[in-house]
Structure 1
Amino acid sequence: MEIYVDDPALKPSLGLACIVILTLFSGLRWETANDWGNYLEFFRFTRSVDYNPFDFEVGFRALVVACRWVGLGYTGFLLVSALISNAAFVYIFARLGPVAVLSVMYFCSYYLGYIGTQRQTLAGAFAGLALLAFFDGKRVRAVALVAVASLFHSSAVVCLLGLVVPRRSLPLRVLAAAGVVIGGLALAAGPIVSRLLEGAGLGGPVFGKLLSYVVKDGGLAPPIDNIFLGAIKRAMLGCLFAVACRDRFASLSNYILNLYLLSVALFFMFLAIIPLLALRIGLYFTFFENYLIYVTIVRLAQRYWREATTASLVLLSSLRLYWSITGYESALFVPYKSIFSYQDHSRFAY
């Protein structure tokens, strides 16, 4: 409807519908994503902000305590958490362009897989608002939003880099040179940086927690191959966006393009040290990837951008749903698993 009708008056209604659908989809399930057990256990046993067996940030603990204080059960807490994050994300998408198109892309490429990562999803929502505030020149508001985001996931402090990201496009030769330098440093400096971190006294809880993201039982964590596939994807998309999404003047598209390229740089810088940390840091910027894909489709397809956008959404949705149901951790990624007792029933419902 949004692609073919192209009526600005539809945006508020479509935005509200996206918030409601995403919130219900997320809130009415318990067993989704890898961390759902920890979140459920934390909610059941927490009585105060001081209770913290899983090293959760204080903002998340305060939200849980507040929900329990007003008498909400775990489903109520999930709905509140989902409402906060999805309302923020849909507002960001409405600011960027077609709210329903970007919401569907966000759901397929990010939310369905990370739907159970309560803390970083909340942090990412506030961080996204902060990055838009940086673009608008509202630095105090932006820094405050980054501070709020870091209360839900400490890695959100990386979004302070949005303060120095330029609003104009960078020359392609500068981007190419930076890519070569960052790639070389990432490959050569990984082992050196790891030893320096240990030598600087980070060999205790901090470095151990970071290292646990990638090493399990003396070997590499299972998602490691997916991370290197993600590296190839980021390199290819970074090159494509740098050509297709550039404007000659200061613009929001340029700012988001530069944020995405920054996320690619951070990803490759940490890839040789702690791969899953590289993935975590990049998540605060890579949800802008959906917007850049849409801009690329519109600018390259031009006359046939509506058909190209529709085909891309269908392809992305189909691949993501298939992968989530039958591929990685299928028993955990199926929504509403708390309602359906068996995985086969859930697949039949799809």
Structure 2
Amino acid sequence: MAIYIFIFILFFLFSYLEIRTSIEASQKNVLYIILYSFLVLLVGFRWETGTDWNQYLKNFTNSTSIDTIIVNILLGFEIGYGLFTFFIRSLTDNYTVFLVIHAILYYFLIFRANKQLSPFPFVSLLVFYVSTMGILGSNRQLIALAICLFSLKFVLEKKAFKFFLCVLIAFLFHTSALLFIVYYFLNRHFSKVFIILVLLGAIIIGKSSLPGMLFSNIASLLGGASASKVDIYSENVVSETSLSLVGLIRRILFFILFFVNYKILSIKFLPYKLLFNGFFLGLVIYFLFSSSFIALAGRGSFYFNVMECFLLSSQLLLFKSKRDRAYLLLIFFVYSYLIFFQSISEYPELFIPYKGVFINTDYFREY
């Protein structure tokens, strides 16, 4: 647990410097590099820590030929991730090297996207880190998420080809990334009446059998592999962080906060409307599919709920005083600490204690 506490303290100190002092851009970049390096080492040097450890280790070990990529596709590993794994496997059989390269790519894209999507990058990174800790180990979806978040800059710049190309690449790592296409149409203002009516409509429709039937038909059109995934996911129970009552209440409360402050913050910070609409759509997806297709409510809304970290950091813009922002940072820090434990609550034994190639090497973790 000590290493997690250290990262927490690092996040807090850098966030405090960001909002309380007037540091230059070059100094902030140095802090950015320091934090980036620590996170890459933390994730890259882990061992038997995180979800799906055995599956991904076995996948890497067996990725010795193109034929194995085809076999792995049938087992549910997308071709993009398969080629990525095969390329690194052809260079080394050391899984730690693979994890380090994966972490370098993942956090590079996340950090680049974060600078574009947050007025206070260190604060949003803190919330993002704790919110996604529970899926550490989901290599394919993490890369897909990073590519998708990076692609939002092209939505803001109205570069459609580059955006759709990024989503296509993300789709090759995890099919769920296809949902991200909708973001290209979300960088606009929607009336408050429209937003409320859509939410009410989602609640009503979600209680019927229509959403599950519709999504199953769409998946069937995409092919047998996608259809089979729908069947498998529809029987799975996703993590408590996705579908718990506490999680739902939290999202609703945050939605109200983001909704009330929308007008002023969309003026102060231009990406706010895109971020808000994404978060709003995540809530709609939850209400539509939480009763009929649990996996979509959890996995599908993942690409939209993640906007919470950027929207929360944007709330600091409402306070002109640096002292007031520092007080709010304390609240964020406590909140992040609680969310960290909620994020890993389904399988805490996979994260605590942290086991790495140099730390707690003798600790036995049963998978």
Relative to the length of structure 2, the TM-score reads 0.82
The 2-side partners of 1:198 and 1:57 are apart by 19
Q: Tell me if the contact between 1:85 and 1:125 (Cα under 8 Å) persists in the aligned partners.
A: yes
Letter of the structure 2 residue corresponding to residue 48 of structure 1: S
Q: Go from structure 1 to structure 2 and tell me whether the alpha carbon gap of 1:269 and 1:301 turns closer, same or farther (over 3 Å shift).
A: farther
C-alpha displacement at 1:132, in angstroms?
2.2
* Within-5 A mapping of 1:78-227: 78-95=99-116, 96-110=118-132, 112-168=133-189, 170-188=190-208, 191-195=209-213, 202=220, 206-215=226-235, 221=237, 223=239, 227=243
CA contact (8 A) 2:43 2:100 kept: yes
Q: 1:197 to 1:20 in 2, by over 3 A?
A: closer
Is 1:239 the counterpart of 2:261? The answer is no
Query: Match for 2:276 among 257, 281, 289?
Result: 257
Deviations 1:72-99 (A, max 9, x none): 5100101111111111111112222222
C-alpha displacement at 1:205, in angstroms? 5.6
The answer as to whether partners of 1:167 and 1:252 remain within 8 angstroms in 2 is no
> 2:207 is paired with a residue of what secondary structure?
helix
Partners of 1:254 and 1:196 in 2: how far apart?
A: 28
The alignment partner of 1:246 has SS state of helix
Query: Shift in Å at residue 67 of structure 1?
Result: 0.8
Instruction: Compare 295-304 and 147-156 and name the one that shifted more.
Output: 295-304
Instruction: Indicate conservation of the 8 Å contact 1:135/1:167, yes or no.
Output: no
SS of equivalent residue, structure 1 residue 50: helix
Size of the alignment, in residue pairs? 335
d(CA) in 1 for partners of 2:251, 2:336: 19
Aligned to 2:106, what secondary structure does the other structure show? helix
Pair 1:6 & 2:22 matched? yes
CA RMSD in angstroms comes to: 2.8
Partner of residue 348, structure 1: none
2:347: which partner in 1? 329
Gaps of 5+ in 2: 1-16
CA distance in 2, matches of 1:144, 1:305: 42
User: Partners in 2 of 1:225 and 1:137 — Cα distance?
Assistant: 33
Q: Which amino acid aligns with 1:184?
A: I
Q: CA deviation at 1:199?
A: 7.8
Q: Alpha carbons of 1:73 and 1:280: their partners in 2 closer, same or farther (altered >3 Å)?
A: same
Q: Residues 197 and 158 (structure 1 numbering): CA distance in 2 closer, same or farther, change over 3 Å?
A: closer
CA distance 1:101–1:68, shift in 2 (3 Å): same
Per-residue Cα deviation, 1:22-74 (whole angstroms, up to 9, x for no partner): 11111111323331110001111111243233311111111111111222510
Matching residue of 2:293: 274
- The TM-score normalised by the length of structure 1 is 0.85
Q: 2: distance between equivalents of 1:201 and 1:331?
A: 34
